[in-house]
Amino acid sequence: MKPVFPSIRLSGRGEWLAGRDGVVLAFFIHRDHSEVGPAIWRSIQTYLRAIPPGSLNWYTSADGDMVPLDDEGWEHNRHVVIERIGGGSRTVELRESPSETGSYQVEYYGRRLDSPIHDAPATTLSFTFPTEYLLEHGAVQLRALALELARELPFNFGYASFALVSTQGSWAAGDWDTTEALLARYPGLDAPHATRFSSILGTRALGPYWLTFLGQPLLGQLGGIDALRNARPFPEVSLLPMDGDRVLVTLDEWPDPIDTQTKAIPPQYRTLARLMEPFLFQYEGEGLPLYKQDTNQWVRRFLQP
C-alpha cells in the first residue's frame, strides 16, 4: 500500500529553501575515480533522459562558482568525469537553482583511495527526485530506473530512500528543531550528505533502506546472497542478484517515511540493520562533537528499541 508522504520545506536564513521532501539515490564506490569515469558519465546521461527537460540549469565551475549549464558546461563536466585521469578529487554538481535546493540534482565526488586528505574515501554519485516524480511515475518505475542507473557501477553500497532533498547537505542549515523533530518521527526519512560521506564512508554501510544496493567487499562481509536470503523471512522483501557480484535488496513496495506516530518500524528494516551492524559507519573516539554523536545515533536508528 502506498504510504502517506509528508510535505517538507526547510528554510535557511533569508528564507532560501534548504531542504524539501523527495527521493535520494546514492552509490558509494570503493574505486579510484579514474577507474569508473565512463560508467559514472553514462549513469548521469541516463538520469538526464529520465527527468523533465530543463531540470538541470547550473553547475559548479572549476573556480567553485555556480554558472549556467550550457553546452560548454556539459563539455566541462564530461571532461572532469572522463578525461581528467590524474591528480586528486573530482567534483560535479548539477543543480536546478544556483542558490537553493531544487527537486533535481546530481552530485559526483570522485576520490582516490590513497588520498591523504580523506579519512576513508569512496567515489560517490547521488541523484535526487521530488516526491511528485515518485507519485507520478510510481515505485515500480523508479526502482527500474534505479537499477538502470546502477547497472555499470561497481558500488560497495548504495540506496534509494524518501529523503530530505538538499544541496551538499544543506538541510542542516534549516531550523534544527524542525529537522530534529522530522528525523525523530520518520526513521524512513534519509538525511543525505553525499560530499561528507564520500570522504569518510570507505567500505562501510549507512543502514537499511527501501532499496539497498550491496556489492563487494561489503556483500561478502555480510555473508553473501545466501546470508541475505536466510535473513529475509518477510513477504515484502525481495533480492535481485546483479552482474558483478552485486545485489539489490528491496524492503517494501514503496519507499516509506515510517511515521512512528501511526505505525511501528517494519521488522524487515530491523532485521537487515542487525545483519549490517558490524559494518555500519560510526564516528569513533572520545568526546565526539554533537554532530558526530547525532550522526552515530541516526545511522543506528533501526537498532534502537
Q: Which of 211, 162, 194 is nearest to 28 (CA)?
A: 194
pLDDT band at 15 (very low <50, low <70, confident <90, very high): confident
Q: Is 8 part of a structural domain of the chain?
A: no
- With residues binned 3-state (H G I as helix, E B as strand, rest as coil), the percentages for the chain, rounded to 5, are 35, 20, 40
Q: Which of 161, 149, 187 is nearest to 250 (CA)?
A: 161
Query: What's the structural domain count of the chain?
Result: 1
Q: Using an 8 Å Cβ cutoff, are 148 and 170 in contact?
A: no
Q: Is 1 part of a structural domain of the chain?
A: no
Q: What percent of the chain has pLDDT over 90?
A: 79
Among 16-25, 150-159, 171-180, where is mean pLDDT lowest? 171-180
Q: Is 85 part of a structural domain of the chain?
A: yes
What would you report as the CA-atom Rg of the chain, rounded to the nearest whole angstrom?
A: 18
- 66: containing domain: 20-303
Q: Using an 8 Å Cβ cutoff, are 64 and 98 in contact?
A: no
Q: Is 13 part of a structural domain of the chain?
A: no
Give the pLDDT confidence score for residue 84 in this predicted structure. Answer: 65
Decide if pLDDT at 230 tops 80: yes
**Arithmetic mean of pLDDT, 217-246:** 92
Q: pLDDT digits over 28-72, tens only?
A: 999 999 999 999 999 999 999 999 999 999 999 988 899 999 999
Q: Using an 8 Å Cβ cutoff, are 134 and 114 in contact?
A: no
Give the pLDDT confidence score for residue 86 in this predicted structure. Answer: 58
Give the pLDDT confidence score for residue 87 in this predicted structure. Answer: 63
Q: Is 15 part of a structural domain of the chain?
A: no
Give the pLDDT confidence score for residue 136 in this predicted structure. Answer: 97
Q: Is 242 part of a structural domain of the chain?
A: yes
Q: Is 52 part of a structural domain of the chain?
A: yes
Tell me phi and psi for residue 49, to 5 degrees: -70, -25
**Arithmetic mean of pLDDT, 9-17:** 84
Tell me phi and psi for residue 8, to 5 degrees: -125, 130
Q: pLDDT digits over 185-227, tens only?
A: 999 999 999 999 999 999 999 999 999 999 999 999 999 999 9
Q: Cis link prior to 217 (omega < 30° from 0)?
A: yes
Give the pLDDT confidence score for residue 96 in this predicted structure. Answer: 95
